[in-house]
Amino acid sequence: MRTELLTVLREAGDYVSGQDLCEKFGVSRTAIWKGINQLKEAGYEIEAVQNKGYKLVSVPDSLSEEELKSIRRTEWVGEEIFYFPVIDSTNTKAKQLAEEGYPGGTLVVAEQQDAGKGRRGRSWESPRGMSIYMTLMLKPEIDPNNASMLTLVAALAVSAAVRKLTGRPAGIKWPNDIVMNGKKICGILTEMSAQFDYVNHIVIGIGINVNNESFPEEIAQMATSLYLETGERYNRAALMEEVWEQFEHYYAAFLKTEDLSGLVKEYNAHLVNMHQIVSVLDPKEPFEGKAMGITPRGELIVDTWESRKLVSAGEVSVRGIYGYV
């Protein structure tokens, strides 16, 4: 009932009378009062005024199931939400749920991870209380060869959500790091289970540094948080919600053609590598060139003195030759 109570108060944005709440939920005034008190204990500020009712004044920075469910405005993302105070990795859990038969759109969220995974077998520092760790599980009917483009779709969604919430520029470092002022605020790890012509499931794991005040020395040079860049703290559930609303929008565009043709322009507009000299760390043949944007398949176009090369995500890593980006 706490979730429903919160949803009603949230949607009303104004006072809702105790009587209306009783009728809506078919419960006694005491039951409503108890529910309100539980929400208050969880950190929600709720004003109670005689003859007017209850009004939600402020919400805590909580990722509890009731908070995530009541803030949800998406159409299909998060129809099933699993929240864990601590988990090994939200990606691992999402894969397990896919195998257990949960539908695409299932979301796994954690307050803390003790075996958070990064790209290229690295680990992802996942302290509690200040960041976002979440994974969306999909079961799309697409060609497995097109799945890697979803990671760029997710990057578009996160960068758009961050810009909307903070009002600051948030760029994309190809293929899928989100950066602010040249430092990374978000990493995305996409993993797939597939037959040669059939996708079993895809999990898109997103880690966003939101309210972190500092980073371990080894990564402080290249990692940052929204708080460190803007001086403001952000509500993590609100940011999550915005990311998934944006994702539904960009994902629909991707599904139309099963590639990024409808998104190339927008992606390139936020690509921090655009027209920069990049160093492509191809294990076979490293080279340098000028990044010219992405192709409709999400490859990075790099012009060298001799020729134009297309770089595929996953095969190589790209580094700006001046600084991190």
Nearer to ligand BTN, 16 or 109 (CB): 109
Least Å from the CB of residue 117 to ligand BTN: 4
Nearer to ligand BTN, 54 or 251 (CB): 251
- Residue 138 CB: number of other CB atoms within 10 A? 22
Least Å from the CB of residue 254 to ligand BTN: 20
Least Å from the CB of residue 88 to ligand BTN: 8
**Phi, psi for 304 (deg, rounded to 5):** -100, 180
Q: Could you check whether the bond before residue 216 is cis, i.e. omega within 30 degrees of 0?
A: no
Q: Which residues are near ligand BTN by CB under 6 A?
A: 89-91, 113, 116-119, 122, 124, 133-135, 177, 187-189, 205-207
Q: How far is CA 2 from CA 40, 107, 189, 198, 233, in A?
A: 11, 20, 33, 41, 26
> Which residue's CB atom is positioned nearest to ligand BTN?
187
Structure tokens at 72: 């949800």
Question: How far is it, in rounded angstroms, from Cα 149 to Cα 300?
Answer: 12
Helix and strand element counts for the chain (H, E):
10, 14
Nearer to ligand BTN, 135 or 246 (CB): 135
Least Å from the CB of residue 201 to ligand BTN: 15
Question: How far is it, in rounded angstroms, from Cα 153 to Cα 290?
Answer: 23
Least Å from the CB of residue 123 to ligand BTN: 8
Question: How far is it, in rounded angstroms, from Cα 90 to Cα 93?
Answer: 5
Torsion of Cα atoms, 146 then 151 then 157 then 162, to 10°? -170
Question: How far is it, in rounded angstroms, from Cα 55 to Cα 46?
Answer: 5
Least Å from the CB of residue 84 to ligand BTN: 11
Nearer to ligand BTN, 146 or 176 (CB): 176
Nearer to ligand BTN, 44 or 247 (CB): 247
Nearer to ligand BTN, 5 or 189 (CB): 189
